[in-house]
Amino acid sequence: MTLLRSTPSAFERLRALLANVPAPAGRTPIPLHLGEARLVTPPVDGRLLGDVAGWTRYPPLGGTPELRAAYTGWLTRRFGGHVAVAVRDGSLAIEPSPGTKQAVAAAIALSVTALAPAVVLPNPFYPTYHAATETSGGRAVFYAHADELAATVAGRRDVGAVVLCSPGNPRGETHPPGRLREIAAAAREAGALLVVDECYIDLVHGAPSGGGFLASGVAGEAGRFLVLHTLSKRSGMPGLRSGFVIGDPASVAAYAAHNRACGVSTAEPVCAVAARLWADDAHVARLRSAVSANWDVADDLLGDLPGYRRAEAGFFLWLPVPDDEEAARRLWREEAVMTMPGRYLGAGSEGDPGAGTGVNPGAGHLRIALVQAQDRTREALTRVRRALTTTAWELTG
């Protein structure tokens, strides 16, 4: 495996875009470009992180028994008792991960080979999917919507990995069991590893207990697969860098061997905090309620704008605009609101880093993170509306 230099990240491109654009004097900046929820205080006992003895020992490989029990407990509550049975009988395996970013990058890197260099990715995408493909020497093959994924993979024998974000980022779409079954069958037929990133699975609006690859009954029909979960979105704890992978035993063992030798194992104090968070659903319900309230604000302030759509899951508003870079500059220059140009989360058009073929589906959209407290979200979206609906700016351009 040859590691290559990746193209600039979405956040590097955003910094460059705004480098010489001053925010208005006297206006408090509001960041809406990053999925970092500031809506609920998770129930973290700081004394657990203050366990000095735990920091002086090497992390336990595979996590602590308490943490692994918490994983199984949450999986049972969330997806059904059959998951716990499968873990106990060895047909499913679990391994801690330092968040989903590292896990998805490692999974892609381990899958890319000379005979199977293709990595099938959504477009637009979470930037790490594309960066991991580039740095591992893989070749990105894009699909625009999940209903196209099976057809994109069909008949190929050069696919190392297939990546599905479920629910999606940035569009927040969910996928019914039938589609998941079709995708799993296509990946199995191609001999590819199916990577299902479910970091937003607990932020599904209206059906918090439904959905998910493991709940759909697809796992027993799949070939090689890894499903990724994290506390970054579920608990609003991205700084903890704590998640886990679950999948078929061989794929989990390959990831575990790589991570234990070359990656980052979870320190005992982090294991203790993570176990408490996976065992507690109340704070997640509060977070989901707060995100839904922010969507209500967005409906109220932006719902009449052309192309506005309330996402099925997550906290990203994918808003159509005539020119996403110019809109992001304008929002920062006039209103001190930072948003992400959609073209930085996609590939396709000539000149885009990592360009594929055709038109970049992210161009002409802003990704706006509804992650601030409700009052601040209302202020931010009021500014967004003002900047995007003035007579000097034709929104439907």
Residue 158 clears pLDDT 50, i.e. is over it: yes
The whole-angstrom separation of Cα 132 and Cα 109 is: 7
Structure token digits, residue 122: 């959504």
Q: Residue range 29-44: average pLDDT?
A: 93
**What separation in angstroms does the CA of 123 have from each of 23, 78, 152, 369?**
31, 28, 12, 19
Stated pTM of the model: 0.93
CATH topology of domain 57-279: Aspartate Aminotransferase; domain 2 (3.40.640)
Residue 396 clears pLDDT 70, i.e. is over it: no
> What pLDDT does residue 209 have?
47
Q: Residue range 131-143: average pLDDT?
A: 94
Residue range 227-278, pLDDT digits in tens? 999 999 999 999 999 999 999 999 999 999 999 999 889 999 999 999 999 9
Residues ≥6 apart with Cβ < 8 Å to 362:
123, 124, 170, 324, 341, 342, 343, 344, 345, 346
Residue range 138-148, pLDDT digits in tens? 999 999 999 99
Residues ≥6 apart with Cβ < 8 Å to 105:
128, 131, 132, 135
Least confident segment among 28-37, 328-337, 342-351, 387-396: 387-396
Residues ≥6 apart with Cβ < 8 Å to 286:
40
> What pLDDT does residue 359 have?
86
Confidence of residue 348 (pLDDT cuts 50, 70, 90): confident
Q: Residue range 282-308: average pLDDT?
A: 97
Residues ≥6 apart with Cβ < 8 Å to 247:
92, 93, 224, 225, 226, 227
Query: Are 123 and 346 spatial neighbours (Cβ–Cβ below 8 Å)?
Result: yes
Structure token digits, residue 345: 């989360």
Residue range 58-101, pLDDT digits in tens? 999 999 999 999 999 999 999 999 999 999 999 999 999 998 99
Residue 299 clears pLDDT 80, i.e. is over it: yes
User: Residue holding tokens 């020992």?
Assistant: 57
The whole-angstrom separation of Cα 122 and Cα 119 is: 10
Q: Residue range 315-330: average pLDDT?
A: 97
Using DSSP's 3-state secondary structure scheme, residue 27 falls into coil
Residue 376 clears pLDDT 70, i.e. is over it: yes
The DSSP letter of residue 342 is G
Confidence of residue 129 (pLDDT cuts 50, 70, 90): very high
Q: Is 4 exposed, middle or buried (0-12, 13-18, 19+ CB in 10 A)?
A: exposed
Domain spans of the chain, in order of start: 10-39+283-388, 57-279
> What pLDDT does residue 240 have?
94
Strand 30-31 vs strand 337-338: parallel, antiparallel, or unpaired? parallel
Question: In the chain, which residue ranges form alpha helices assigned H by DSSP?
Answer: 10-18, 46-49, 52-55, 65-79, 81-89, 99-111, 127-135, 149-153, 177-190, 231-234, 249-262, 268-279, 282-302, 324-335, 374-388
> What pLDDT does residue 8 have?
86
Average pLDDT of every residue of the chain? 92
Structure token digits, residue 233: 């979105």
In order, the DSSP letters of 225-288 are EEEEEEHHHHSS-GGG--EEEEE-HHHHHHHHHHHHHHS-PPPHHHHHHHHHHHH--HHHHHHH
Residue 333 clears pLDDT 70, i.e. is over it: yes
- CATH 3.90.1150.10 corresponds to the domain 10-39+283-388: yes
> What pLDDT does residue 60 have?
94
Residue 4 clears pLDDT 90, i.e. is over it: no
The DSSP letter of residue 51 is -
User: Residue holding tokens 């943490």?
Assistant: 67
